[in-house]
Amino acid sequence: MPDYRLYYWELPFRGVFIEMFLHEVGVSYQRLDTSEIYPDKRLKIHNPGMAPPYLYDGSIDKTIAQMPAILMHLARDYDYLPKRSETHTLALKALLDCNDVLMEITNFNGMQMWEKGAWETFRYGRLPDWMQVFEQTGRAHGLNDGKGYLLGSTISVADIATAALFGTMTYSFPALQNDLEENAPGVAKLCARVEARPRIAEFLSGARERYGRDYCGGQIERSLRKMIG
């Protein structure tokens, strides 16, 4: 049995990307408190990493940080990467795009709290553009309203990440569901299909019971909630 340990906060945010993937491929893992590594031991582990999430992989007896790197590692091991070099690269790009959206929606990981003007520029400018980036990527690879995946006819890590991004965001902030449906209708349906995959659905139902609509936590979540109303 593979030995994985995920160190993350008791929140969905970046952790849910890894948890959804681990459930999709049906491997078990332990979820551990970040304080076991972060911050005191972050330089003492193999492959030091600045901040959670961290994934320990017993098969290499090492720990990996950075959400996109963790997903690339798992996707390679479980054959969830597209085969062609362009779509393989686009899978990495999709993970990096997801992480950029997470950074932007939290105003650069909570560096500053949201204020109305800046929030509206993001919500009605960059966020719809991001949604369209995913939609156009999917359409270019055959995603339409009810079938297909982001990078072709087979599910890949990019689909799990896309659903972890927009599915979690719209669950935590239901008002953003309309934004997604207007700007990225194919992606909205893709998120619902990925979330309905049996192992993912079971995981999400437990996680949503545990965390409710919590998203990224802290003052930045309070600031986001104030903006979205």
Ligand X SMILES: N[C@@H](CCC(=O)N[C@@H](CS)C(=O)NCC(=O)O)C(=O)O
Site residues for ligand X per CB under 6 A: 13-14, 50-53, 66-67, 99, 109
Of residues 188 and 220, the one with the C-beta less far from ligand X: 220
63 within 8 A of 45, measured Cβ to Cβ = yes
Of residues 9 and 80, the one with the C-beta less far from ligand X: 9
* Three-class secondary structure of residue 155 per DSSP: coil
Taking the complex as a whole, the smallest distance from the CB of residue 176 to ligand X amounts, in Å, to 19
Of residues 67 and 90, the one with the C-beta less far from ligand X: 67
Buried b (16+ CB within 10 A) or exposed e, 35-68: eebbeeebeebeeebeebbbbbbeeeeebbbbbb
Taking the complex as a whole, the smallest distance from the CB of residue 196 to ligand X amounts, in Å, to 26
- CA 189 to CA 66: how far, in whole Å? 28
Taking the complex as a whole, the smallest distance from the CB of residue 19 to ligand X amounts, in Å, to 13
Of residues 14 and 23, the one with the C-beta less far from ligand X: 14
Taking the complex as a whole, the smallest distance from the CB of residue 201 to ligand X amounts, in Å, to 24
Taking the complex as a whole, the smallest distance from the CB of residue 103 to ligand X amounts, in Å, to 8
Residue 117, both tokens: 């003007």
Taking the complex as a whole, the smallest distance from the CB of residue 51 to ligand X amounts, in Å, to 3
Of residues 51 and 92, the one with the C-beta less far from ligand X: 51
Residue 88, both tokens: 């393989």
Q: Which run of H or E residues covers position 55? A: strand 54-57
Q: Give the Å distances, CA to CA, from 47 to 39, 57, 215.
A: 14, 12, 28
Helices 15-24 and 198-211: crossing angle, nearest 10°? 150
Of residues 52 and 152, the one with the C-beta less far from ligand X: 52
